[in-house]
Amino acid sequence: MRIPLLALFLVLLAVVGCRLPWIPRPLPPTPSPSPQATPSLPVPSPTPTPLRPLPTPTPPPSPPSATPTPSLPYDLAIRPPPGWESALIASPFRDAKATSPFLGPDAPYISWAVENLGPGPAPSPALVDLSLDGVLVERWRIPPLEAGERFSILNWGELLQRVRLTPGTHTLTLTIDPIGLLREQNPANNTLSVSFLWTGPPLPLVPPEELPYLPDLTLFTPPGWSAPMEVVPKEAGKTQVRVAVRNRGRSSADRRTFVDLRVNGMIATRWAVPPLLPGQEAVLEWDSLLDTMALPPGRHTLVVTVDATGLQDEAREDNNSYTLTLLWPPAQENAPRGFRLVPYAFPGMGDALVLSSLPGQFAVGPVERGHGVWAHWGVRNAGNAALPQPLAVEMLLNGSTVARWTRPALGPGEVDVLLDQPLPSALAQLPTGVYQVALIAGLATESGAMGQVLLRVERQVAWVERSPDPPPTPSPEEIRRLLGRVGRLLEADGSEGQDGIALAQDILAVASALYAVLYGRPLEAEGVDVLFLPYLEWARWVQKVCADQSSALPVPQQASYYTSCLHLQSANALTTRWRGRLRIGLMAQRSPIEVLRDLGHEMGHLRQMLVNPRLDQAPDTLDLRALREAQGFLHEALFVRLLEERTGLDMSLYPRTPLYAQWAQEALTNVHLQRDGDEYARGIALLWTALLSDDNLRQARNDLLLQGKLGITSLRSAFVYLLSISPDQAEGYARRHLARWEGVRTTLEGLLLGRLVLGLPLAREGVGAFRGVGLLLP
């Protein structure tokens, strides 16, 4: 979706009237005045893109499809070589020539052979599937065979890495051309089965009390996707199938598993998924759909299944598949074309039409008399055609026009937002009461007057003498009650539809309670707006913030600053002073625990802006940004450990397993490799080097070396100290301590690996979102 800068950022062209020749009277009081604005329609999902945006060209009108090979004089058959009892052999011994009726407990060796019995060569490669009791365990692609040529696989021993066998009789089946693309002389000889008795031990039973803490491999919808599985066009006429998998369980998936894609009931491809820690994700992509399957025009059913061979014990087994109905070729745009103007609430706006007493205040609320009146509004073209003319927009108060604007025509899906528009000063002196406010938008005539009306948004707004009192500091009992909501966040972690948007109020309640514990007042009392934004709205908000900030710079610097600022769209959180107010923006279309963690990090930036605002005025350099991130990471650790202390939950402990050790080592390696160009990696490196070498942090260092991590008291004192560094000291401080990184790194790896707990029960394994606090931060 294109968002033109002209439509977003054009300045106000005309405001009518500096004085009012009339004084409107307030509306008669009503028992419960409520906004009357037309409901804002939801913003459509963006064009499906992978996590890293890729081009999405229009599919060709006649897409290529895999075409079955014409019937030719060749015959691929499952046939034993000389000396073999069967063409499919399973035996406990290598190089066996016959299948053993009894197998187990060790993995059997499987061999098979295929021969071309026809008079002519096979024209193309062929697929060969091996299945156990109807479940695919392996697929091979064999080369084209000449007449009389044989192909064999000997001593394949990976059966127990694909499936788990239970005692009893099982059947192995070998199938040539499982998808049915070949046209050969005799397809009847393409299948062979052998049975055996498995004498290995029964599978261990999972104790019922451990079941809720097992891993849970499931499919999920990443930000920017429309579903857990998508079929999207690629370059050069290719079509890509992409699938997103996550471990939303409380413990690690400790083995490689497999994901199958079935098209019209046949397995088209299989992906191998590595072991996943809690919260870890994998995006699987396949570009060979049309090279593998014959897709005639019409509807086709695609089914993706996680842990298709049942290797992994899971907390739930009922969320392992997703079905997609695909219309092929893709439907062309046949809908009637037309434009449709709808209200649009820009990220952070309480509604599509807001009046406030001060600029930068976008929440729905009363107007405080005596300050001024500011208007904020947004509209969107929800149609599939552009507006034929510019927009004429009028704002009415109790039916009388108080402002007019002329705005550019909007293309399909484009938005137009005006913020901080001053209204005539006389409005600030209106008597207290409730007034009817309306925004009317229509097609502008050649003279700029209102022509055809396309949209009318109305609401009632109260004029009051003063703003309500600031929120009171919660009592200890209220803090305990608010922190209890963290259980809801943990329960919803990773569930489809239960993301940071749906649970924003719970996240804010927990964060505000912890802020009150640390600083003696709720987060709301700091005058900060916390925005929980879906993926598309997050990108729009960052774009607007960057545009506003760049416009305040000298003209030669604007373009480069704007371009570099836009990299923040790939981040998940941002704290800034924008349009006169402090704001924390969060991309909240993800795990609620991740959003809570990032809010704790951003609170560190908020404290810096409140306590040491001079740091924001210093020249922007990599080392200065690294210092800010060191402050943010330290506050993130403080936030999580205080949450653990107050709730009695260990949420950042992890077992001593190779998978966790690998994660910690790779995280530290990434910090080392990226520290010279990335502010976040450099911030972590600065935090550790300062803690281990700054004499002013000696007490925190002693705590760290004694306990292996910082306690709450040491975290608070270290955070206050880092906040106190002045702008003229920041550059030298960062450079001086970062120079010690190479010496610190060796000590650091042993310290971090020492935090892993041997024999940690499943029920105590930490949540995935706090892994960085547990295994990378002090």
* DSSP assignment of 635-658: HHHHHHHHHHHHHT---S--B--H
Provide the pLDDT for residue 381: 94
Query: What integer pLDDT is reported at residue 331 of this predicted model?
Result: 59
pLDDT band at 458 (very low <50, low <70, confident <90, very high): very high
* Structure confidence by residue, pLDDT tens digits, 270-302: 999 999 999 999 999 999 998 888 888 899 999
pLDDT at residue 191 greater than cutoff 90: yes
Q: Which residues contact 259 (CB under 8 A, 6 or more apart)?
A: 243, 245, 270, 271, 273, 284, 304, 305, 306, 307, 308
- 580-611 burial, b if ≥16 CB within 10 A, otherwise e? ebbbbbbbbbbbbbbbbbbbbbbbbbbbbbee
Amino acid 763: pLDDT: 82
Distance from the Cα of residue 616 to its chain's centroid: 29
Rg (CA), the chain: 32
Per-residue tokens: 344: 């649009």
User: Is the predicted pLDDT of residue 22 greater than 50, yes or no?
Assistant: no
What integer pLDDT is reported at residue 57 of this predicted model? 32
Task: Flag the least confident range among 28-37, 149-158, 335-344, 421-430.
Answer: 28-37
Spatial contact of 270 and 308, defined as CB atoms under 8 Å apart: yes
Q: Inform me whether the pLDDT recorded for 39 exceeds 80.
A: no
Name 668's Cβ contacts closer than 8 Å, sequence gap at least 6.
Answer: 745, 748, 749, 752, 776
CATH of 341-464, one of 3.40.47.10, 2.60.40.10, 2.60.40.1930, 3.40.30.10: 2.60.40.10
pLDDT in tens, 681-721: 999 999 999 999 999 999 999 999 999 999 999 999 999 99
Question: Which pLDDT does position 333 carry in this prediction?
Answer: 53
Q: How far apart are CA 510 and CA 487, in angstroms?
A: 10
pLDDT in the model for residue 3: 39
Domain 217-328 shares a fold with domain 341-464 = yes
- Cβ contacts of 290 within 8 Å, gap of 6 or more: 63, 64, 65, 66, 238, 239
Average pLDDT over residues 180-192: 90
Q: Would you say residue 544 has pLDDT above 80? A: yes
The closest of 228, 246, 217 to 304, measured between CA atoms, is 228
- The residue with greater pLDDT, 78 or 1, is 78
Round to whole Å and give the CA distance between 196 and 203: 18
Distance (Å, rounded) from C-alpha 670 to C-alpha 667? 5
Are 723 and 603 in contact by the 8 Å Cβ rule? The answer is: no
Say which residue, 5 or 226, is predicted with more confidence. Answer: 226
pLDDT score recorded for residue 335: 56
CA 184 to each of CA 214, 296, 374: distance values in angstroms, whole numbers, following the listed order: 48, 21, 77
By the 10 Å C-beta count (0-12 exposed, 13-18 middle, 19+ buried), 388 is classed as exposed
Rounded to an integer, the average pLDDT of 720-743 is 93
* pLDDT for 223: 86
CA distance 285 to 726: 49
- Say which range, 295-304, 331-340, 744-753, has the weakest mean pLDDT: 331-340
Higher-confidence residue: 59 or 110? 110
Cα–Cα distance for residue pair 703/318, rounded to 1 Å: 46
- What global pTM score does this model have? 0.81
Q: 3-class SS at 70?
A: coil
Separation between Cα atoms, residue 679 and residue 695, nearest integer Å: 24
- Least confidently predicted of 26-40, 57-71, 713-727, 748-762: 26-40
Q: What local confidence, expressed as pLDDT, does residue 253 receive?
A: 93
Is residue 454 helix, strand or coil?
Answer: strand
Mean pLDDT across the chain: 87
Q: Which pLDDT score, from 0 to 100, does residue 291 have?
A: 84
Judged against a pLDDT cut of 80, whether residue 236 lies above it is answered with no
CA 714, CA 710: separation in Å to the nearest integer?
Answer: 6
If one compares 68 and 1, the residue with the highest pLDDT of the two is 68
pLDDT tens by residue, 593-642: 999 999 999 999 999 999 999 998 888 899 999 999 999 999 999 999 99
Cis peptide before 347 (omega within 30 of 0): no
| Better pLDDT: 336 or 215 | 215
Query: Is residue 67 over pLDDT 70?
Result: no
CATH 2.40.50.140 for the 217-328 domain, yes or no? no
Angle at 333 between CA 327 and CA 337, to 5 degrees: 150
Confidence of residue 1 (pLDDT cuts 50, 70, 90): very low
What is the C-alpha separation between 670 and 105, in angstroms, rounded? 42
What was the pLDDT predicted at 71?
A: 54
Question: Do residues 595 and 508 make contact, with C-beta atoms less than 8 angstroms apart?
Answer: no
Averaged pLDDT for residues 170-198? 93
DSSP letter string, 531-579: EEE-HHHHHHHHHHHHHHHHHTS-HHHHHHHHHHHGGGGGSSEEEEEET
pLDDT at 172 over 90: yes
- Give the 3-state secondary structure of 473-526: CCCHHHHHHHHCCHHHHHHHCCCCCCCCCCCHHHHHHHHHHHHHHHHCCCHHHH
pLDDT band at 332 (very low <50, low <70, confident <90, very high): low
Token pair, residue 447, equals: 């003279």
pLDDT at 216 over 90: yes
Task: Please give the average per-residue pLDDT across 467-491, as a whole number.
Answer: 88
**SS3 assignment, position 696:** helix
3-state secondary structure of 6: helix
Q: Which residues contact 531 (CB under 8 A, 6 or more apart)?
A: 347, 348, 541, 583, 584, 585, 586
Asked if the model's pLDDT at residue 470 lies above 90, the reply is no
Distance CA 110, CA 158 (A): 9
Instruction: Check if the beta carbon of residue 333 is closer than 8 Å to that of residue 296.
Output: no
> What would the CATH number be for the domain defined by 76-198?
2.60.40.10
The Cα 151–Cα 174 span in angstroms is: 14
Beta bridge partners of 395: 403, 439
Spell out the domain ranges in the chain: 76-198, 217-328, 341-464, 472-611, 639-777
Whole-number Å distance between alpha carbons of 624 and 682: 10
The residue written with tokens 């009389």 in the block is: 148
Closest CA to 295 of 332, 334, 266: 266
pLDDT score at 12: 28
> pLDDT confidence of 350, banded at 50, 70, 90?
confident
Residue 237: predicted pLDDT: 73
pLDDT of residue 746: 86
Residue from 355, 367, 339, 369 nearest 418 by CA: 355
Q: Which residues, including other chains, have CB under 8 Å from residue 720's CB and lie 6 or more apart?
A: none
Q: In what order do the strands lie in the sheet with 581-587?
A: 528-533, 581-587, 573-578
